[in-house]
Structure formats: C-alpha cells, structure tokens
Structure 1
C-alpha cells in the first residue's frame, strides 16, 4: 500500500458543507471548531482529533465513523476483473471491501449445486439473459430476464440453468446492509 493510500482526505468536509448550503461560519458555530481550523481541515493542512471528528460529524448528521470512512475512501477505486471458471460457469469477478460482483455465463442444462464458499453475506442474482432456477431449502424461484432474487447466501442453494444465461451475482457482507 502506498503512502497515498493511507492518507485521509478531509476535503470531503467542504463537499458536505457545500452540499448542505452551509458557510464555514455556520459549521464553526454548530461544531465549536474555529473557522481557521475548519479551513485548514478542508485543505488537508492539519490532523483531526477524535473530539473534532465527532463534533464535525454531528453537524452533518453523520457518525464519526461515517465521516472517517468518507475521508478514507472519497476517491474512486478502479480494479480489473478476475476471470475464472467454477464448475460449468464462466465468471468475471471484481471485489471491493464488503462486496463481490460477478458477471456469470452458463449454458442450458448446467447446474451449480455448491456455489463458491460464502461467509455471512447476502446474495443477489440478477438475470440478464436466459432462464434460471434457484433452489433454497424451503423455496424455489424461477427467474426470467430482468428479474432478481436476494437471499441469505449462508443457506444451501443451487442454480439450474434452464436456457443459455447471463447474470450478475453480488455478494454483500451483512455488515454493509442497504
């Protein structure tokens, strides 16, 4: 990890302030942080203390953790897809913290009864083309193009390909619920 990856970017405070239509003076009054201190923070010219982080987050109706996460990840991240096969399925996969996104293709008649190992996460399958049947312990769902199914990935489940199919599958850690 480079030094740039470890740096927090509190220019996000300026973005939040402008989005709320607030001036530095208003944020200063509501947070008790000096205008000079806020200005330096927005320009990444000083370090933030925990108490300052907490007071500033409250101005924007955020938790201190949420504000810190925004400062940590305000830049977009670009990744290349990993290409692989699992059983009869062809996959492209990209992963970010808390989420794995798959683009999958499978041929009619294919089945995957023991999908990739799962942690404590949700799975969403969005069918783009074809037809599939997803079997869960007490229910069966047949999807047509444009339909999606969300379920607890910890449950035993299988995919049966009814027609040549293309789908997007997303695994989301339960701690990142939407």
Structure 2
C-alpha cells in the first residue's frame, strides 16, 4: 500500500496526530497506521481528511508526490 500524503499534509498544517484524529473521529493509533500505509482508510475517513486539509480526495493518496516532496527537505 505505501505511504500517503496524509502525514505531510498534517505536518504542513501544523497539526498533531492527536488533533487530526480527534477532528476526524478516529484514534491517533489508527491515523498513524493510515499515514504509514499499514492500514487502509475508509471512504468516510478519507472524505473527512480531505475536507480537513482542504484538498481533493485523490491528493491524499498520491504517493509519488509525497516521496518527492519528502526527499527535498
């Protein structure tokens, strides 16, 4: 499955794992597993994350973009 942009978006917004998880209605542990690609994310949680970060749904899962940005810093 691989990593997603969710962690990068969360960090760019200056939000903690716990803050995002609370706003989306999931546990911090579950969000951590989603960010690292260890768990799949439901459609509803994906929608809530996209809404929270003000991005298109597909932007959450563009792994190549995430890796390119991550490698620049």
TM-score (norm 2): 0.75
Higher relative contact order (CA 8 A, sep 6+): 2
Return the structure number with greater helix share: 2
Q: Encode CA deviations 1:42-94: one digit per residue, 9 max, x unaligned.
A: 110011110111111111122xxx232441x3315xxxxxxxxxxxxxxxxxx
CA distance in 2, matches of 1:8, 1:57: 18
Is 1:74 aligned to residue 71 of structure 2?
A: no
The count of aligned residue pairs is 65
Instruction: Determine the structure 2 residue equivalent to 1:80.
Output: none
Q: CA RMSD in A?
A: 1.8
Instruction: Determine the structure 1 residue equivalent to 2:68.
Output: none
Q: Gaps spanning 5+ residues in structure 1: where?
A: 1-6, 77-178
Return the structure number with greater strand share: 1
1:36 to 17, 29, 34: 29
- Which structure's CA Rg is the greater one? 1
TM-score (norm 1): 0.33
Q: Gaps spanning 5+ residues in structure 2: where?
A: 66-73
